[in-house]
Chain A
Amino acid sequence: MFDFLSNNKIRFILFQVVAVLIVAYVAYYAISNLNYNIERLGIRSGFDFLGIRAGFEINERLIAYTVDSSNLDAFYVGLINTIVVSVIGIIFATILGLIIGVARLSSNYLISKLAEVYVEIFRNLPILLQILFWYNLLLIVLPSPRNSFDFFDKVFLNLRGVYLPKPIFESDFSWVLIAFFLGAFLSFLIKRFFSKKHDETGIKQRTWHYYLLSLLGLPLGVYWLLGSPLHFDYPSLQGFNFDGGLSFSPEFLALVLALSIYTATYISEAIRAGIESVDNGQKEAGLAMGLTQTQTLKFVLLPQALRVAIPPIINQYLNLTKNSSLAAAIGYSDLVGVFSGTVLNQVGQAIEIILMTMAVYLTLSLLISLGLNFVNHKMRIKGLNE
């Protein structure tokens, strides 16, 4: 009766049809219920709410936003905050991870043990716990604005957050930028010229002063000629609070602190694995070829270590970005906090809002994995699969 099932082709098709039908039915069931429930409960649908006045204040913002801005503006504020936290977190996590990863391989017993203890402690604690812990600690340790920690009267740290000088660019500053890009192009030409000369004559010349001149000297010269078109807006104590400057809240500080401390453990492990994966014979071979220590490191060891280390590190960047959504727990205004939190509570359109939030993270993770593929392609062992 079921003889036709033994035919592979027919069975394959049958299975797939059944699977697709099941998925389609589940989707149909869910969506029809959704429509019915939306009608029954009188939930509004559609994306009109994005244009409506948001009506709430967001303290932490990098773009223009007021109570009268729309929900879409609130979305952008949250999105930008998410990106800012992720980027700054990624920078700190990478620096810290590099230090810890190298420290774990140090011949110095104390240093390597300290690094190991660091990894063991912070990797085995939930990230949310760490965020709450640092936030709680900051609120205990930081002084009131009047008694702020004061660094050279330019940078202040207190309960309200950290206050930095805010750079103000005048329109002439664009010339400095142009000079910088010109300098970069120039140094590229210099590099080409000298490596060609090196190929032809075999003479290696010192070149760093040319780079310094074109990359730093040129923009600095233009900056000076134009009469310093860059000012700083310094924060100052006005009454009970600081005014002016660039400020980041304690929530932001706690989040960046926790995210980078946590992610650094994984990055350091990736770096350690990368360095350890390079066979000792490679180093010996490099030295035997007559390369110097630095050259061996630069041309033989690092490229191999990075090939192993960088893919997991990029994955950690993605994890950090996703973990930044935990900002909601301490009330930092990131995408989840502002949009899936405040806006959702006001508008009540859960479906659209959550789908939009998910779409943002999906896009971010897609971009990061595109970057990962690009890096993998760049670093693959050349000549093997060509």
Chain B
Amino acid sequence: MSIFTLKKPKPAPQAKTGILGWLTKHLFSSKINTVLSLLALYLLYVILPPLIDWMIISADFSAKTNAECTREAACWSYIGEKMNLFMYGLYPLEAHWRPNLLLVITLLIALIVRFSYLFKSFKYKVILSLFAVYPLIAFFLLYGNDFLGITIIETNKWGGLMLTIVVASVGIVASFPIGIFLALGRQSKMKAIQFLSVTYIELIRGIPLITILFMVAVMLPLFFAEGIEFDKLLRALIGITMFQTVYIAEVIRGGLQAVPRGQHEAADASGLSFTQKMVFIILPQALKISIPNIVGSFIALFKDTTLVLIIGIFDMLAIAGLATSDTDWLGRKTEGLVFVAMVTWVLLYLMSHYSKTLEKRFNTEH
């Protein structure tokens, strides 16, 4: 007969609730985790205190001149002093209301589009006409027009965040229709058209944006007849669009490929022409699928916009360098760069967050 001996009772389980429980579960669950946690804490200890000290605690927010700023920490009054430069570049002070007004108009349009379901019956007409008129308004407001009595402000005066937004927006809007054509061309059964599209896409994708910018900056006028002049900003816009088009085309190609075969067949069976099929059946679905990726490509473009500084256009990042050449504020480049970084980061973060919500909204697979 076997005799049963009781095993020793196991110790009571560790607390799984409360702060202590959370800490053991998430930070100190094993030896390795404990070591890693301590390492991470040490890393935070090395980075955070000096950073916070430089940015906030020892920083100077109210100094009027460079000399009043303590040398050891950030001097934020410099940013305040140069704020106009960072936002508008050399755009004349008395005309700042123009970009501001444009911003208000843009936000209004965004609101109208957001709440377009309130006036369903003519929704598309409103939105389409807005998109048709908007670029004109934007151009006349920013550049000006003698006939309308708005003084012309040459683009070499444009700069700062305003310019960054202009370049990114024009890039995305202009590259959109061309991108659709290129995507369709790449998918086309017509060999010559397919070849041309593929060649263009692969050529541009293989080279850095900066070489394209160099090309348009130096070579573009040589390609046109004598006497055709190109604005420096316009050249940059052409280069950016040439570049962005390719990425938009690839994004839309992805969308086109995701449209089920049956949709093509159904459209063909209904007797629609190629154009009708594309405009009413395929493209709307493809674009809907691509929207999150289009936003993603816009984010990439927004980041790439900074490169225009290399061909001498003063976007916000270039201003951070330009502003330090002011002898009153020598040695304040770090503040400028950090400020630009914070502004860009917030904008890009908001955009990528928006792209994620879009992705959720358009995800119809359940």
Contact = CB atoms under 8 A, between A and B. Distances in A.
A7 to B, nearest CB: 13
B134 interface: no
B196 A128 contact: no
Interface in B286-316: 302-307, 309-310
B210 A325 contact: yes
Interface string A327-344: 011000000100010001
Given A126-B317, A136-B333, A328-B210, A354 B219 contact: yes
Contacts of A357: 211, 214
A20 B199 CA distance: 13
B210 A326 contact: yes
Label chain A's interface by main secondary structure.
helix
B26 to A, nearest CB: 4
A299 B298 CA distance: 40
A111 B208 contact: no
A366 B207 CA distance: 10
A162 interface: no
Given A126-B303, A128-B306, A351-B222, A365 B205 contact: yes
B178 to A, nearest CB: 14
A287 B112 CA distance: 57
Nearest to B331: A140
Interface in B196-244: 196, 203, 205-211, 214-215, 218-219, 221-226
Contact of A108 (B36, B309, B333): B36
B79 interface: no
Interface stretch (A36-44, A70-78, A197-205, A288-296): A36-44
Interface string A360-375: 0110111000000000
A185 interface: no
Contact of A125 (B43, B203, B309, B344): B344
Given A107-B33, A111-B40, A16 B348 contact: no
Contacts of B348: 124-125
A329 B304 contact: no
A4 interface: no
Contacts of B218: 344, 350, 354
Contacts of B317: 126, 128-129, 132
A336 B211 contact: yes
A349 B33 CA distance: 60
Contacts of A172: none
B334 A137 contact: yes
Given A129-B344, A328-B310, A111 B207 contact: no
A109 B26 contact: yes
Interface in B59-76: none
B345 A121 contact: yes
B40 A33 contact: no
Interface in A106-126: 106-111, 114, 120-121, 124-126
Contacts of A195: none
B334 A350 contact: no
Given A16-B192, A120-B349, A354-B219, A340 B214 contact: yes
B107 interface: no
A140 B205 CA distance: 36
A336 B217 CA distance: 14
Contacts of B305: 126
B144 interface: no
B257 interface: no
B352 interface: yes
Contacts of B203: 362
B320 to A, nearest CB: 8
**Contact count band on B:** 35 or more
Given A16-B192, A121-B345, A128-B317, A365 B206 contact: yes
Contacts of B306: 126, 128-129
Given A15-B190, A361-B206, A362-B203, A110 B27 contact: yes
B224 A33 contact: yes
Contacts of A114: 40, 43-44
Contacts of B36: 106, 108, 110-111
Contacts of A23: 196
A108 B206 contact: no
A337 B123 CA distance: 51
B29 A107 contact: yes
Nearest to B215: A354
Interface string A23-63: 10000011001101110100000000000000000000000
A254 B154 CA distance: 36
Contact of A358 (B37, B207, B310, B349): B207
A108 B27 contact: yes
B102 interface: no
A125 B342 CA distance: 9
Contacts of B193: 15-16, 19
B224 to A, nearest CB: 6
Given A33-B225, A37-B226, A120-B349, A362 B190 contact: no
Nearest to A110: B40
Nearest to B38: A110
Contacts of A351: 219, 222
A106 B36 CA distance: 10
A193 interface: no
A38 B222 CA distance: 8
B337 interface: yes
Contacts of B302: 126
A373 to B, nearest CB: 13
10 contacts: A23-B196, A30-B223, A124-B348, A124-B349, A125-B348, A128-B307, A129-B306, A325-B211, A344-B218, A361-B208
Given A106-B36, A128-B309, A336-B208, 8 more contacts: A37-B222, A40-B226, A107-B29, A109-B27, A132-B337, A137-B334, A357-B211, A358-B207
Interface of A: 12, 15-16, 19-20, 23, 29-30, 33-34, 36-38, 40, 106-111, 114, 120-121, 124-129, 132-133, 136-137, 140, 322-323, 325-326, 328-329, 336, 340, 344, 350-351, 354, 357-358, 361-362, 364-366
7 nearest interchain CB pairs? A109-B26, A365-B206, A16-B192, A322-B208, A124-B348, A350-B218, A126-B303
